[in-house]
Amino acid sequence: MRYVGEFDVAKKELEVKLVSVPQSFALVQLKGADNLIEIYTKSYGEIPIVIQGAGAVKQVTARGVLTDILKMAEKVKIKEAVWI
């Protein structure tokens, strides 16, 4: 089980949920406070661009993730946010 956040630019939706992840996914390989971001684009189709690295304690990570989400929302000019 892993916590997964999904940000859909086209739909302007953000969702964070606990999911069961297949063993073949890169997310399963994370240890401790490591972080991983998969970026799906039209150019790459079903193969994501993966950014992975060491994370921090949960409070620092949560603050960083929230800051990144807010920056992305600003860039795509989301006027209203629906937090699920």
DSSP 50-81: EEEE----HHHHHHHHHHHHHHHHHHTT-SS-
Using one digit for the tens of pLDDT, what is the confidence trace for 48-84? Answer: 888 888 777 777 778 888 888 888 777 776 555 555 5
pLDDT at position 1, please? 85
Q: What is the pTM of this model?
A: 0.54
Q: Are 27 and 53 in contact (CB under 8 A)?
A: no
* Per-residue pLDDT at 12 exceeds 70: yes
